[in-house]
Amino acid sequence: MSNKLEYLGVPLGRPKVAFFELSSCEGCQLQIVNNEATLVDFLALMEVVNFREAMSERSDDYDIAFVEGSVTRADEVERLQEIRKNAKVLVALGSCACFGGVNQLRNRFSDQEWVKKEVYGDFPIETEDVVRPLSAIVEVDLEIYGCPIKKEEVEKIVTNLILGKSINHPKYPVCMDCKANENICLFDLGEPCLGPVTRGGCDAWCPNNRMGCWGCRGPAEEANVAQLREIMAKHGFSEETLTDRLECFGGFTAYTEEFQAARKGK
């Protein structure tokens, strides 16, 4: 029996793949190794040459680089640029890599020295004043959204990458996933939710568990945030509640900056 992978009878190459992390909790990489049922088949599609979460071997010879985390230090800028130089395809893995993630919340503070003092006290910490997504530093070929990513979605995307098939992210909002799962709308349960404006494809992971969406996948293609403001107000939620959610992962930065500009103009 041949060990060569085939698709419709056509031999497939196994690209060399590397996983890296910048400033992050490494939860997205953990998701990759977290589903044992499909892990062996998934890894059979590629040759993993660098993956600190799962192996001790290291190599800088790779075709596809998956990078988790946001850029918060000067050495991370250099490291990311080096990864970009080596990789034919660079994938931003998760909300931190795509938008800055939870880390970028500190960008809202003008006094970064105060932030460092509040969080770290007198312990010295090396960090830049602004948290940035990967795309602010290098060209990113593909983004995989979520905090954390959904492994089933990653497996599908990686399979399409290897087969040379097109990769199309959902354009619809999380509400579509919610409806498909026959969930009760969380607004009717008294819970704020960004489902109407957030990119779907997560199978309504949080709403399925009666938790309102926080927008970790960024805006849907035609996100109507103005209408969401009306929905939030109708259900008694303040502008501050809406803004807190929109700012959480960094995907809605353009909308929150618009809000702030409007407020200053009043």
Q: What is the mean pLDDT of each run of 10 residues along the chain (266 residues)?
A: 60 87 95 84 88 91 96 97 96 98 93 90 90 98 95 89 86 96 96 97 95 97 93 95 95 83 62
pLDDT at position 37 is 83
Q: Which residue has the tokens 């109708």?
A: 234
State the CATH architecture for 6-163: 3-Layer(aba) Sandwich (3.40)
Residue with tokens 């910048």: 22
Sequence-separated (6 or more) residues with CB below 8 Å from residue 234:
none
Closest CA to 204 of 172, 228, 156: 172
- The pLDDT of residue 7: 61
* Per-residue confidence (pLDDT) for residue 158, from 0 to 100: 87
Q: Render the burial of 202-220: b for 16+ CB within 10 Å, e for the rest.
A: bebbbbeeeebbbbbbbbb
pLDDT at 124: 84
Q: What's the distance, Cα to Cα, between the start and end of the chain in Å?
A: 73
Could you tell me where in the chain the CATH 3.40.50.700 domains are found? 6-163
| pLDDT number for residue 1 | 40
pLDDT for 62: 95
Its pTM stands at 0.91
pLDDT at 144: 96
Phi and psi at 70, nearest 5°, equal -100, 170
Cβ count near 186 (within 10 Å): 20
Question: How many whole angstroms from its chain centre is CA 49?
Answer: 23
